[in-house]
């Protein structure tokens, strides 16, 4: 008749497995709590697996490091999503900035073209005024130049007051009076 009792080797293997499980539980417990059980119980567990205190310390530190690395790696999916969102936001901002720069460059170009056109018209008007003044009697030219000087002074004072943030009511009235005087002198020159 066969013996149904477990063999000595099977019993030793089972005891070894239990000892190793107890050792692993002890290592995990020490990672969380420096004193999870009595020192005597720790000695018995170490003797069961033929380990030294130094090996226990090494295994505890290795387990702590694995946990630290696992905790750091656990954030990877969330960080990948956040990086993708941040990258898309950066890309959209970059595209918007490029569009804004292109639009601003177009506005600057249109403004420069308008300014150039106005400056050309101003130069032609000044040429015409100089030619007209050569053909007018001296007293009309003097009246016109005095009115023009008054207008330029009033315009400069108005601009300076506007830049300084001052009340413009007085300066606007003076500017309108000077402009009216210039227009009268111009009309007199045309009527001659």
> What pLDDT does 125 receive?
92
Look at residues 74, 90, 107 and tell me which one is the last residue of a structural domain. Answer: 74
Assess if residue 3 is contained within a domain. Answer: no
| Cβ–Cβ < 8 Å for 182, 147 | yes
Decide if 151 contacts 178 (C-beta within 8 A): yes
Q: How far apart are CA 185 and CA 183, in angstroms?
A: 5
Question: What is the token pair recorded at 188?
Answer: 């007199």
Do 24 and 44 belong to one domain? yes
Given 104, 128, 152, which residue is the final one in a domain?
128
In a domain? residue 41: yes
Q: Which of 74, 95, 114 is the last residue of a domain?
A: 74
Residue whose C-alpha is closest to residue 47's, from 15, 19, 72, 67: 19
If asked whether residues 141 and 190 sit together in one domain, one would say: yes
Question: Do residues 92 and 123 both lie within one domain?
Answer: yes
- Domain, as residue range, for 188: 136-192
**Sole residue written with tokens 């720069």:** 101
Tell me, what's the pLDDT at 148? 93
Backbone dihedral region for residue 137 (phi beyond 0: left; psi -120 to 50: alpha; all else: beta) = beta
How many domains, in total, are found in the chain? Answer: 3
Residues 81 and 68 grouped into a single domain: no
With respect to residue 109, please indicate whether it lies within any of the assigned structural domains: yes
Could you tell me if 13 and 68 lie in one domain? yes
Residue spans of the chain under pLDDT 50: 1, 11
The predicted pLDDT at position 11 comes to 45
Q: Any idea what DSSP says for residue 5?
A: S
Residue 1 lies in a domain: no
Residues 34-52: pLDDT tens digits?
A: 676 677 777 777 777 788 8
Confidence (pLDDT) at 14: 56
Q: What does the pLDDT read at residue 3?
A: 53
Instruction: Give the pTM.
Output: 0.50
Q: Is residue 187 part of a domain?
A: yes
d(CA 46, CA 133): 116
Residues 140 and 191 in one domain: yes
Residue 2 domain-assigned (yes or no): no
Q: Both 31 and 70 in a single domain?
A: yes
């Amino acid at each position: 008749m066969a013996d149904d009792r477990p063999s000595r080797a099977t019993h030793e293997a089972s005891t070894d497995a239990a000892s190793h499980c107890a050792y692993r539980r002890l290592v995990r417990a020490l990672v969380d709590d420096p004193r999870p059980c009595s020192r005597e119980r720790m000695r018995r567990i170490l003797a069961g697996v033929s380990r030294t205190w130094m090996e226990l310390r090494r295994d505890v530190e290795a387990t702590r490091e694995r946990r630290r690395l696992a905790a750091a790696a656990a954030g990877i999916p969330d960080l990948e999503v956040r990086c993708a969102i941040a990258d898309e936001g950066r890309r959209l901002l970059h595209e918007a900035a490029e569009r804004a720069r292109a639009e601003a460059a177009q506005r600057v170009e249109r403004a420069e073209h308008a300014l150039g056109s106005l400056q050309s018209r101003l130069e032609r008007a000044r040429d015409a005024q100089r030619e007209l003044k050569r053909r007018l009697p001296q007293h009309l030219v003097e009246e016109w130049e005095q009115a023009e000087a008054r207008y330029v002074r009033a315009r400069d004072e108005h601009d300076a007051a506007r830049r300084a943030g001052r009340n413009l009511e007085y300066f606007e009235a003076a500017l309108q009076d000077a402009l009216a005087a210039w227009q009268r002198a111009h009309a007199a020159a045309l009527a001659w």
